[in-house]
Chain A
Amino acid sequence: MTESLLAILFAAPLVAVVVSFGMRSARLAEYVTVVAAMVDLLVSVPLLVRVLNGPVTLAHSYLRLDLLGAWVILCISIVYTLSSIYAVGYMRLLDEEKRLPLFYGLFSGFAFTMLAACVTNNVGVFWIAIELTTLISTFLVGFEREAESTEAAWKYIVVVSGGISLALLGTVLFYWAGSFVLGPTYAMTWAALHTSAPAVYPPLLLVSFLLVLVGYGTKAGLAPMHTWLPDAHSEAPAPVSAMLSGALLNASMLGIARFLAVVSGTSVSRFAHSAVVGFGIFSFVIAALFIVRQTGIKRLMAYSSVEHIGVQALGLGFGGVFGVAGALYHMLNHSLNKSLMFFGAGNAMRAYGTKEISGIRHVLRAFPVSGTLWLLGAVGIAGAPPFALFLSEFTVLRAGIGGRYRWAAIVFVVFLIVVFIGFLAHFRAMYFDDAPQQQVRPLSGLVWRTLPMWLAFVPLLVLGLWWPRGLWEVFTKISFQLMGGSQ
């Protein structure tokens, strides 16, 4: 049963890729992508339920689905669904009718590689999957073929390839370290790393972990390795920005979480957690400062992603049930909220014909409904109740205050306030500042562009008011697996 669910999960985007490339019809590609994404979303929920009672190993133990992997799959499928619906409306505005099948093919391929990263049992294959996400998404980032987007794509691939090669070095060193315990040749699985880690010479283990952390941290957008992120997120078409921010960062965080779990039973555990907390708080502070003085609308959203990936790193680094639960809940909430924000930003950019915040004024006049959703989303992403990000940030904070990293928790609170003021100041200007009457281009595809915003907003509000008991159970189980070693 789990096998067939997994088969459907991977077959759906694959079919979308083949149909998009094969049929060369823009309309067909759009609909196939939306259907594939919805199928993935429908499948990802029962998958999560099926692994509640323990991980499932498949295909001669090449694939292994555990609760954490299933959770990230759920987050990715949600973003895939929302952004493929939004893409139908948005991409038609670009006047690139001929290249649309190419876009949707790459789009589904991108989703496929991210999903693959979640289920692989092999540490090397995980690295390859993450590397492939870069290669595919580079062309999505550069899709608009302007000077800026090409520059962003180039910086993206150079910085991320360099960073991810550090993760490969770390992986090789992990394998080498394990060979002292398990013999020269063994399967490169997560379980093997868990078994060998406690017996490895600590400095070697630490260097390997730090390399992996920096490597996948580059891909996750942790500062100071985040430099590619604002460029890529701001220059990609809006649905791709949502995928990069809401899904790709999660897939890379999965790698960090898994490796953190590997070293958490060992003597370097404390240092490793401190390193993750350090990167988390540094990302948060850097992002907060850039948010305050940002001028580009999508760069604002991009720095907000750096901020929220910092929060997730903080949660994982603080550890404990609260820390892990907060980080994972934050992952879901951020995926929903950031998709909403990028969709709103895409609408505004197309209508006002500018990427600058200063060029966007009186949003509510141009977008009465989706503008309201966007504004509420901004309040949510700044961390205000009653939206879900408030709950998850509060949980992360709760984990930090009680533990060894109280200083980080205090810095976190201070800069949360900075972000709140800085972020909402930009929105106040866009909504309520006086400005001369502007040319606003009417946009087509209203339903396609507004529906996903509703679909993101409603769960955001619901999850902010009510933390389902079932989710809490999932998080508790994941945090025990992460702390106790899932084997």
Chain B
Amino acid sequence: MFLAHVNPLQASIFSSLAIVSLLLAFVMLGSHWLRNYVYAFAAQSWLIAALSAAVGYFGGYPELYVIAVLTALFRGLVLPYLLMRIIARLNVKRELHAVLQPSSSLVLGAFLVMFAFVIANHMNFQSLLSTHVVVLALTIMLSMKFLGFLMLAVRDEAVSQILGLLVLENGIFLGSQILVPGMPLLIEIVILFDLLIVVACFGMLVRFLVVHAGTTSSRELNRLVG
């Protein structure tokens, strides 16, 4: 387990990359503008790519460089491009009916991060040696999960929901780079490709929504109940 002997410098590099990614999730949470979400998501993906490369370099996992390049390429360039295309086609620039104002969702998000920290602290026992980085990684993994679900819950626009799902995935990806850098390469690559297909499917569905349901706001998707 390479986390057992990271030196302080490495630990602080990993931590700062992870924390800035978490902050970017808050940027998404605190904004109304769809474009900002996409920029924040792209920046987050680049940070995760940097994290992969850093873990690969310090931990001696050369295959992580491949992951880093693919992450930057897919998550950092292709996905944001696809999302921008969807937004351009939709003619929707911002969230209109927020269930929660950005400020209150930020506060709620902060509480969720604390909750994530409590859980992470409970789960971590075996790796006492490197408590800080491990707990941090677990916390950020879980809190990005929570923030993603929060975004899914309080946002109506189809694009915001796609981004919420992508934040969920980013959280897992970020955590897994630190916790299990030795995870088989094949799996990670397939999951990356999988994400691409997911977004392509979402793009097609959004088009169907516009044509057949006449709306892309989940607020108005209320035909099926009970």
Contact = CB atoms under 8 A, between A and B. Distances in A.
A294 B141 contact: no
A188 B184 contact: yes
Interface in A147-181: 147-155, 157-158, 161-162, 165-166, 168-169, 172-173, 175-176, 179-180
B213 A172 contact: no
A184 B130 CA distance: 15
Nearest to A228: B224
A125 B148 CA distance: 24
Point out which of B1, B183, B194 has the most chain A C-beta atoms below 10 A from its C-beta: B183
Nearest to B134: A176
Given A147-B214, A176-B180, A201-B125, A230 B201 contact: no
Interface stretch (A13-21, A75-83, A138-146, A337-345): A138-146
Contact of B224 (A131, A152, A188, A290): A152
Interface stretch (B69-77, B79-87, B90-98, B202-210): B202-210
A172 B197 contact: no
Nearest to B206: A154
A147 B194 contact: no
A125 B123 CA distance: 26
A201 B126 contact: yes
A157 B161 CA distance: 11
B226 A299 contact: yes
Contacts, number: 144
A169 B172 contact: yes
A150 B208 contact: yes
B78 interface: no
Interface string B78-121: 00000000000000000000000000000000000000000100
Contacts of A294: 226
A151 B224 contact: yes
Interface of B is mostly: helix
B175 to A, nearest CB: 7
A187 interface: yes
Nearest to B184: A188
A426 to B, nearest CB: 14
A235 B224 CA distance: 9
Given A147-B214, A180-B1, A161 B175 contact: no
A122 interface: yes
A459 interface: no
B10 interface: no
A392 B202 CA distance: 40
A438 interface: no
B226 A290 contact: yes
B157 to A, nearest CB: 12
B35 interface: no
B9 interface: no
A165 B168 contact: yes
Given A138-B205, A201-B125, A154 B221 contact: yes
A234 interface: yes
B9 to A, nearest CB: 21
Contact of A184 (B123, B171, B182, B218): B182
Given A172-B180, A234-B224, A204 B213 contact: no
Given A128-B191, A176-B180, A204-B123, A142 B205 contact: yes
B184 A158 contact: no
A147 B223 contact: yes
20 contacts: A124-B190, A125-B187, A135-B201, A138-B205, A139-B204, A147-B213, A147-B214, A148-B223, A150-B208, A150-B209, A151-B223, A154-B218, A157-B202, A158-B165, A161-B165, A161-B198, A165-B145, A172-B175, A184-B2, A204-B124
Given A128-B191, A179-B1, 7 more contacts: A128-B187, A142-B205, A142-B208, A162-B164, A172-B172, A176-B179, A184-B182
Interface of B: 1-2, 119, 122-127, 141, 145, 148-149, 152, 158, 161, 164-165, 168-169, 171-172, 175-176, 179-184, 187, 190-191, 194, 197-198, 201-202, 204-205, 208-209, 212-214, 218, 221, 223-224, 226
